[in-house]
Structure 1
Amino acid sequence: MFKYWFLAGLLMLLTGCGQDALYRSDTFSIHPASVRQGVYTATVLSEDEIVSDYVSPDRDKDEIPAEKIHWRRTRSLDRYPEVLSNIPLVNAMTRMSLEELQLNIREDSTFMAGAKWTGVWTRDISYSILLSLAFLEPEISKKSLMTKVKDGRIIQDTGTGGSWPVSTDRMTWALAAWEIYTATGDLDWLRQVYPIIARSAAEDEAVAVNPKTGLFYGESSFLDWREQTYPRWMDPVDIYRSQCLGTNAVHYQTLRILASMADILGEKPDEYLNRANKIKKAVNTHLWSDSRGWYGQFLYGRHYQSLSEKPEALGEALSLLFGIADESRSRSILENMPVGSFGIPCIYPQIPHIPPYHNNGIWPFVVAYWTWAAADMGHIPHVEHGMASIYRAAALFGTNKENFVAKTGDYIGTEINSDRQLWSVAGNLAMVYRVLAGIRLDEKALTFKPVIPPGYGDTLRIINFPYRKALLDIEIFGTGTEIHSIELDGNPLTEAQIPETVTGFHHITIHLANKQKASEPINTAPWHAHPDTPILRYEKKTILWEPLPGTEFYEVFVNGSKKGETTDCFYKILDQNHFTEYQVRAVDKKGWTSFLSEPLTVIPGSKSLTVDVSGDDIQRDYRGYKG
């Protein structure tokens, strides 16, 4: 059967049909059986073999031989659902990713993070399980998650300043644990993980919530290499005090999951839902930027905080997927978010003088979440761009790399990189399961929301897809975002859902209406770095800073609020009667701003008290103070 489908695809190519690109830009193009970038081509020789003549322009010619990249499948894939498309590239990408998934299973039946990273990491496995591994490898997923539990708590194993509580995105564990339940219906698993998630969430809430804003403190989820996404003046304390988009999205969804778990287990869900709704309101109140049309990456500062209006792709995607953004804001984000030639970068614009990794970096798993979110909204242009980004890199490089440089699209040049990175593998597989087939899981049903762009063939089949106590043979005909009809074993369904009570083998047939939602074109933005961050000093009632290249003017902030603009490199202080924090940021000709400078505090002499650190000169008591 598979050979017939694959040969049909090749015949279509050889007879002159289907030669149009699935995606084309100024830098590369995706075709049914090839990827082309300049003089380089990756060619699908069969569903189990890809050859690429890509050579990194930045390679070390003395150490890296300029040989052709060649992937040929060597492992059986019988344990997984079989994906059959009349687009050879889709078939080969899926099979390469399934083989790499197997290679990422350790001897102890847990997931390693990638070829270079043999450990089990909380956020890596969690984001991967949510993308696609919950239904492809549920038992390996369970065991991997349980290795990241100690004393009944989820382990925060990476992050700034000793990790927890500077970082609290360990709660991605909850997202993965819930997805395993929705895929398997395993009540014993639900009973096991519920108290772990509840205890961890309660601890985070006790130490990491800003009582004024209602947002969780701490580092951006996954973006945990300090100067890669934060101004260099921010130390671990400053990063802890920041309040970011991605991690708050994770905490919001965790509380919603706890409510669903509590309901199933006969406990009261209302308190969890109330707390979740407070976070949702806080995100929309404090992190939304009306001027940009997306959520800013974080609040930051010292005594007074301001919004960094730079977008952060993973956080934006999670805000769409989890329903933090309403319909209007979701459309605004999809319309305005800057995406690069090779994919959506982690942040935009880039930070000057910082090497590529999170900064000036594209991570395929982030692209996968963004593409999934776009598919949820039926936005075909973003889906085409996202799938092209993932397939270009995997086909040309012959593996699912951890990341690549946003400016060049090359895998050489980032600070650290690895082959067969687990979440990149899971993201590649999500293109079939989450996007093309549109599989969505919750506690009550499996729902289909397929999005098949024109050119991606008119037939997709997934054989032996596991859902709880059932095996499903899924066939989808046509293209677009609108379902015309759906049948279960030949019987029409009124909704595109399969109830969680289904058992045994069933055949599902979906016909799409060959229609797609009207969508605004994507905001393809050229690579850009914003100005450097000013460094302030104080002399004779004046704030001073050095001129910065590429700056049109400077904005002055007083106690967290913008007070004025200047083309000078100084700001006169007229009132010195109060404790005041001053910050400055540079603005370039495109309107992009630097980070705000490190706050400079001015304290009037009459308001200050100097105390010898030894305490020997303290001669009087202060009301309300002991020690």
Structure 2
Amino acid sequence: NDDPLWLMAAAEAATVAGDQSGYRRLRQLARTLAERDAPVFWNSYIGLFQGIPTYLAAKNAGLPAWMEPTDIFECMALADNVARTIAATSLQALDSFYGLAANGYLPVTPDSLRRNINTRMWLPNLGRYSGLLYGSPAYPVQLLSSDNAAMALAILGGVASDAMTETAVRRTPVADTGIGHCTPEWNDTLPAAPPSGLLRQALWTAVCARSGNEAAYSSAVAALLYRRLHLLTADSRPTDGSADRAVTSLILRGLLGMRFIAGGIEFAPFVPENLPGEKVVEGLRYRRSTLTIRISGTGNAISTFTIDGTPAEPFLPADMEGNHTVTITLAGASALRGVANITESAGNAMPPPPRVSWNNERTAAILPSGGNGDSRYLVYLNGTLAEEIYRDSYTLYDAPETTTALFAPVNSDNATGFAGAPYTYIPTGQRITIPAAAVGRTGTRIVSDKTAAARLVEQNRYRNRNMTFEVEAPRAGTYLLDVRYINGLGIVNRQRRAVLRRLEVNSQPAGTLVFPQLSAAWWDKNLGEQWQELAARTNSLPVRLESGSNTVTIRYHQPSPVYLDPAHNTVLIESINLTFLHS
């Protein structure tokens, strides 16, 4: 889902443009997106949005092969959550500037989402953000690798604190060619310098400027210019303008330190000491004015700032019209000399996830999927790091409650990779299974076997549109609810679009169930015959049940705008499962 990134960019463009009529259209669209996205992607149990941007879902991005669509859907990406926070913050600032009534763009306040990001995704021992939470919607595990573009956005967008910014800039490894896609890299087969790397480097350069770290900033500027010059002599050059935009970003966001707000432009210039001399930007159009900006000196301490020769605060009001000249003189001093983590490469690759085979309910064999064969793993139980082991087997303790276990490999460079597929141990009496035939009208023409059809409930816009039933909970607490359904309905759903259903518990919204329809071509993954398995499970939703009777409703949902033909919006449900987590 790239809507959050698009909305963040659109809100920034609206802030720069100052077009109130255009902004009114944008805020209405933002409200529509919020109403559509929150029921589907918001994980109220964790306090973050689920889903990942498309660049992390690409075939070579590095997600583990065990992840099926429901596993990917349950992931919580730094990029999406940061983009939503920045977009909502910008939109609220514009609402205030234009005197418009407050508009709800998130299920929570931007400050609340910001706190949740920093609590759930910051890795204090590593000095960076986790790029992804994965493995369970109730007990997600932090991936010990950053998404560096998303981390840069978190810093530039004010999500990260000053202390986090200083630590990230000081500790993130940077090579001569710039910062890597991730730290450590998710996939060692990614191109060394894809065109998108220039834009990522431009973001990181602005981050280093914001931090005031002279050493890191100088190295970031050098890496960006090196990449740009390399492209000038390369046989194949990007034709999308990304190279020029990266240099423009360096000038505006880095050297001039321009930050756009609704009322004008704030300046916080920073020129590294190895780029002395006067620099001139001419013909820069901003709303109803055309600017010439002259900057001389180095460092980030402003000696003089004038507008048309008149001393002023480092701020240009948005209501200025016509031609104007801004002159900036820097005092030649930096607030922080700083250090940079310069390395031969931007980061090592993560080890591949292991293959985990559970011999019985509590004993696992852990098989490395390549690498040097080291048997070193971090053991996560219910999302918490429980221990580090140096063996290829594990025995789970006799847990009294439902426990999800994951094993993340650690290589000789101390890089930690994705864990193997999660395993959930469910003690006796902790799971409730409700046959669909007990709560809905059975029978379907889709399945020719009448015995099998009698166990299934077909749900579409005509049949069982709203399945409402009672669940007797032996005790109050949080349960994970999932639905077992028939997979691969290519006869009905020819494009194999994911079917969505809204869940309500005791008349309160409880999230969205996703019913992917797999095919042999899904991601070109080597699934063998797995895609043809008759039954599959939806994503799991944490729900609160009271002791005794609870009313559960699975509602038919037709997305708008329509991406799935209503005639194909059909699912065959076999059972509903509820697993007790805790009181």
Shift of 1:180: 3.1
Q: Which amino acid aligns with 2:411?
A: D
Whether contact under 8 Å (1:488, 1:507) holds in the other structure is yes
**Which of 149, 161, 166 pairs up with 1:326?**
161
Q: 1:260 and 2:83 equivalent?
A: no
Whether contact under 8 Å (2:12, 2:90) holds in the other structure is no
Shift of 1:245: 1.0
Whether contact under 8 Å (1:345, 1:361) holds in the other structure is no
1:559 aligns with 382
Matches within 5 A, 1:110-129: none
1:117 aligns with none
Whether contact under 8 Å (1:221, 1:246) holds in the other structure is no
Alpha-carbon distance change, 286 to 466 in structure 1, aligned in 2, over 3 angstroms: same
Shift of 1:552: 5.7
2:145 aligns with 310
In the alignment, the residues of structure 2 paired with residue 296 and residue 241 of structure 1 have an alpha-carbon distance, to the nearest angstrom, of 16
Q: Which amino acid aligns with 2:390?
A: T
In the alignment, the residues of structure 2 paired with residue 477 and residue 308 of structure 1 have an alpha-carbon distance, to the nearest angstrom, of 43
Alpha-carbon distance change, 377 to 172 in structure 1, aligned in 2, over 3 angstroms: same
Deviations 1:238-289 (A, max 9, x none): 1221111111110001111221232234323375596211110110111111
Shift of 1:492: 1.1
Deviations 1:211-251 (A, max 9, x none): 01211111047433155142222222212211111111100
Q: 1:499 and 2:317 equivalent?
A: yes
Q: Which amino acid aligns with 1:486?
A: F
Q: 1:472 and 2:286 equivalent?
A: no
Alpha-carbon distance change, 508 to 614 in structure 1, aligned in 2, over 3 angstroms: same
| SS, match of residue 533 in structure 1 | coil
Unmatched 5+ residue regions in structure 2? 438-450, 457-469, 473-549, 554-574, 576-583
| SS, match of residue 223 in structure 1 | helix
In the alignment, the residues of structure 2 paired with residue 511 and residue 317 of structure 1 have an alpha-carbon distance, to the nearest angstrom, of 28
Deviations 1:300-329 (A, max 9, x none): 003531111211111111111111111111
| SS, match of residue 508 in structure 1 | strand
Deviations 1:45-80 (A, max 9, x none): xxxxxxxxxxxxxxxxxxxxxxxxxxxxxxxxxxxx
Shift of 1:579: 3.7
2:133 aligns with 299
Matches within 5 A, 1:89-488: 167=1, 169-220=2-53, 222-225=55-58, 228-269=61-102, 271=104, 275-302=109-136, 304-351=139-186, 355-357=189-191, 363-398=197-232, 419-488=238-307
In the alignment, the residues of structure 1 paired with residue 288 and residue 201 of structure 2 have an alpha-carbon distance, to the nearest angstrom, of 32
1:571 aligns with 394
In the alignment, the residues of structure 1 paired with residue 103 and residue 26 of structure 2 have an alpha-carbon distance, to the nearest angstrom, of 19
In the alignment, the residues of structure 1 paired with residue 112 and residue 252 of structure 2 have an alpha-carbon distance, to the nearest angstrom, of 32
Alpha-carbon distance change, 577 to 448 in structure 1, aligned in 2, over 3 angstroms: closer
Alpha-carbon distance change, 351 to 319 in structure 1, aligned in 2, over 3 angstroms: closer
Q: Which amino acid aligns with 1:289?
A: L
Shift of 1:616: 5.4
Whether contact under 8 Å (1:351, 1:359) holds in the other structure is no
**Which of 396, 399, 408 pairs up with 1:585?**
408
1:151 aligns with none
Alpha-carbon distance change, 197 to 418 in structure 1, aligned in 2, over 3 angstroms: farther
Alpha-carbon distance change, 594 to 346 in structure 1, aligned in 2, over 3 angstroms: same
Shift of 1:189: 1.9
Shift of 1:605: 6.5
Whether contact under 8 Å (1:343, 1:362) holds in the other structure is no
Shift of 1:367: 0.8
| SS, match of residue 363 in structure 1 | helix
How many residues align? The count is 442
Which deviates further from its counterpart, 248-257 or 588-597? 588-597
Alpha-carbon distance change, 394 to 605 in structure 1, aligned in 2, over 3 angstroms: same
In the alignment, the residues of structure 2 paired with residue 234 and residue 315 of structure 1 have an alpha-carbon distance, to the nearest angstrom, of 22
Q: Which amino acid aligns with 1:537?
A: S
Deviations 1:432-460 (A, max 9, x none): 22212222211111222211111213101
In the alignment, the residues of structure 2 paired with residue 538 and residue 182 of structure 1 have an alpha-carbon distance, to the nearest angstrom, of 54
Q: Relative to total residues, which structure has the larger strand share, 1 or 2?
A: 2
In the alignment, the residues of structure 2 paired with residue 397 and residue 295 of structure 1 have an alpha-carbon distance, to the nearest angstrom, of 30
Q: Which amino acid aligns with 1:234?
A: M
1:544 aligns with 365
1:597 aligns with 420
In the alignment, the residues of structure 2 paired with residue 187 and residue 445 of structure 1 have an alpha-carbon distance, to the nearest angstrom, of 14
In the alignment, the residues of structure 2 paired with residue 350 and residue 360 of structure 1 have an alpha-carbon distance, to the nearest angstrom, of 14
Alpha-carbon distance change, 268 to 430 in structure 1, aligned in 2, over 3 angstroms: same
| SS, match of residue 398 in structure 1 | helix
1:518 aligns with 336
In the alignment, the residues of structure 1 paired with residue 406 and residue 192 of structure 2 have an alpha-carbon distance, to the nearest angstrom, of 25
Alpha-carbon distance change, 500 to 622 in structure 1, aligned in 2, over 3 angstroms: closer
Whether contact under 8 Å (1:171, 1:201) holds in the other structure is no
| SS, match of residue 232 in structure 1 | coil
In the alignment, the residues of structure 2 paired with residue 497 and residue 486 of structure 1 have an alpha-carbon distance, to the nearest angstrom, of 9
Whether contact under 8 Å (1:543, 1:570) holds in the other structure is yes
Unmatched 5+ residue regions in structure 1? 1-166, 400-410
Alpha-carbon distance change, 191 to 530 in structure 1, aligned in 2, over 3 angstroms: closer
| SS, match of residue 280 in structure 2 | strand
In the alignment, the residues of structure 2 paired with residue 431 and residue 386 of structure 1 have an alpha-carbon distance, to the nearest angstrom, of 10
Q: TM-score, with normalisation over the residues of structure 1?
A: 0.65
| SS, match of residue 42 in structure 2 | coil
Shift of 1:609: 7.8
In the alignment, the residues of structure 2 paired with residue 180 and residue 604 of structure 1 have an alpha-carbon distance, to the nearest angstrom, of 53
In the alignment, the residues of structure 1 paired with residue 111 and residue 135 of structure 2 have an alpha-carbon distance, to the nearest angstrom, of 26
Whether contact under 8 Å (1:350, 1:360) holds in the other structure is no
Whether contact under 8 Å (1:482, 1:513) holds in the other structure is yes
In the alignment, the residues of structure 1 paired with residue 419 and residue 176 of structure 2 have an alpha-carbon distance, to the nearest angstrom, of 28
Whether contact under 8 Å (1:228, 1:359) holds in the other structure is no
Q: Relative to total residues, which structure has the larger helix share, 1 or 2?
A: 1
